[in-house]
Amino acid sequence: MCGIIGYSGKLQAANVLLEGLRNLEYRGYDSAGISLFTKSGLKTYKAQGRLSQLEALLGENLPEGQCGIGHTRWATHGAPSNVNAHPHASGSITLVHNGILENYMELKEVLLKKGRVFASQTDTEVIAQWLDEEYQQAHEPIKAIRKTLKALKGSYALGILFAEHPGVIYAVRKDSPLIIGLGQGENLIASDITAILTYTRDYLLVEENEIAMITPEQAKIYSPEGEQLVKREPCRADWDIGAAQKGGYAHFMRKEIDEQPHALEATISPRVNNGQIDFSVDHVEDAFLSNFHSVQIVACGTAMHAGMIGKHLIESLARIPVSVNIASEYRYSNPIVGKDDLVIIVSQSGETADTLAALRLAKLHGARTLAIVNVVGSSIAREAERVLYTYAGPEIAVASTKAYSVQTAMFYLLALRIAYLSGNMDTDKIFRYVEKIQAISQMVKDSLKTAPICKEIAADLVDSSDLFYIGRGLDYCLSLEGSLKLKEISYLHSEAYAAGELKHGTISLITEKVPVIAVATQSSILEKMISNMREVKARGGFVVVICQAGSNIPEDAADRVIYLPDSVKDELLAPLAAIVPLQLIAYEIASLRGCDVDKPRNLAKSVTVE
Ligand code: M6R
SS3 content of the chain, % helix, strand, coil (to 5): 40, 20, 35
Catalytic residue at 147? no
Q: Which atom of ligand 1 is nearest the CA belonging to 375?
A: 1
Length of the chain: 610
CB 378 less than 6 A from any atom of ligand 1: no
Q: Is the CB of 301 under 6 A from ligand 1?
A: yes
| Residue 117 confidence (pLDDT) above 90 | yes
Separation of 393 CA from ligand 1 center, angstroms?
15
Mean pLDDT confidence for 225-249: 82
Query: Which atom of ligand 1 has the smallest separation from the CA of 352?
Result: 4
C-alpha 225: how far from chain center: 32
Give the Å distances, CA to CA, from 163 to 132, 177, 192, 333.
11, 25, 26, 47
Q: How far is the CA of 596 from the centre of ligand 1 (A)?
A: 17
Which of 400, 480, 481 has the most ligand 1 atoms within 8 A of CB, as the residue to mutate? 400
The Å distance, Cα 356 to ligand 1 centre, comes to: 13
Whether the per-residue pLDDT at 227 is higher than 90: the answer is no
Pocket test for ligand 1, best of 349, 380, 481 (most atoms within 8 A of CB): 349
Which of 280, 276, 269, 268 has the alpha carbon at shortest distance from 428?
276
Rounded CA gap, 28 and 21, in Å?
A: 11
- If you write DSSP's letter for every residue of 358-387 in order, what string do you get? HHHHHHHTT-EEEEEESSTT-HHHHHSSEE
pLDDT digits (tens, 9 = 90+) for 467-512: 999 999 999 999 999 999 999 999 999 999 999 999 898 899 999 9
Strands 560-563 and 322-326: unpaired
- Residue 213 to residue 223: CA distance in whole angstroms: 12
349 alpha carbon to ligand 1 midpoint, in Å?
8
The yes-or-no verdict on residue 226 having pLDDT over 80 is no
Q: Going by CA atoms, what residue is nearest to atom 12 of ligand 1?
A: 301
Q: How far apart are CA 479 and CA 228, in angstroms?
A: 54
Provide the pLDDT for residue 246.
83
The widest CA-to-CA distance across the chain, in whole angstroms, is 80
Phi-psi region of 138 (alpha: psi -120 to 50; beta: other; left: phi over 0): alpha
Is 421 in a helix, a strand, or coil?
helix
Listed in sequence order, the DSSP H helices in 161-298 are 252-258, 260-268
Cα–Cα dist 292/155, whole Å: 34
pLDDT at 13: 97
Between the CA of 88 and the centroid of ligand 1 the distance, in Å, is 29
Percent of the chain with pLDDT over 90: 89
User: What would the mean pLDDT of 221-225 be, rounded to a whole number?
Assistant: 91
User: Given a cut of 90, is residue 141 above it in pLDDT?
Assistant: yes
Spatial distance between the Cα atoms of 390 and 77, rounded to a whole number of angstroms = 34
Determine if ligand 1 sits within 6 Å of the CB of residue 352: yes
* Ligand 1 pocket: which of 302, 481, 601 to mutate (most atoms within 8 A of CB): 302
SS3 call for 264 = helix
302 CB under 6 A from ligand 1?
yes
Asked if 294 contacts 418 with a C-beta cutoff of 8 angstroms, the reply is: no
- What average pLDDT does range 7-12 have in this prediction? 97
Q: Which of 2, 67, 454, 547 is catalytic?
A: 2
Question: pLDDT-derived band of residue 548, with 50, 70 and 90 as boundaries?
Answer: very high
- How far is residue 322's CA from residue 320's CA, in Å, rounded to a whole number? 6
Q: Which residue has the higher pLDDT, 458 or 607?
A: 458
* Ligand 1 neighbour 606 (Cβ under 6 A): yes
Per-residue pLDDT reduced to its tens digit, 562-574: 999 999 989 999 9
User: What does the mean pLDDT of the chain come to?
Assistant: 95
Q: What's the CA-to-centroid distance between 350 and ligand 1, angstroms?
A: 10
- Predicted confidence band of residue 406 (pLDDT cuts 50, 70, 90): very high
- pLDDT per residue over 16-49, tens digit each? 999 999 988 888 888 999 999 999 999 999 999 9
**CA 399/CA 305 separation, integer angstroms:** 13
- Residue 416, pLDDT > 80, answer yes
How confident is the model over 369-374, as a mean pLDDT?
A: 97
State yes or no: pLDDT of 343 exceeds 80.
yes
Residue 247's pLDDT band (cuts 50, 70, 90): confident
Lowest mean pLDDT among 201-205, 290-294, 598-602: 598-602
Question: Residue whose CA is closest, atom 7 of ligand 1?
Answer: 301
Q: For 72-106, b where at least 16 C-beta lie within 10 A, e where not — what string?
A: bbbbebbeebbebbbbbbbebbbbbbbbbbeebee
Tell me, what's the pLDDT at 383? 95
Residue 247 Cα to ligand 1 midpoint, Å, equals 23
How many CB atoms within 10 Å of residue 117?
Answer: 7
Nearest CA to ligand 1 atom 14: 399
Q: Among this protein's residues, is 108 annotated catalytic? A: no
Q: Give me the torsion for CA of 43, 47, 52, 58, rounded to 10°.
A: -30
Of 242, 517, 522, nearest in space to 394 by CA = 242
Can you give the pLDDT at residue 569?
Answer: 84
Q: What is the DSSP secondary-structure string of 572-610? A: GGHHHHHHHHHHHHHHHHHHHTT--TTS-TT--SS----
Report whether pLDDT(274) > 90. Answer: yes
Residues 1 and 86: beta-carbon distance below 8 Å: no
Mean pLDDT of 149-158: 95
- 515 strand-pairing partners: 542
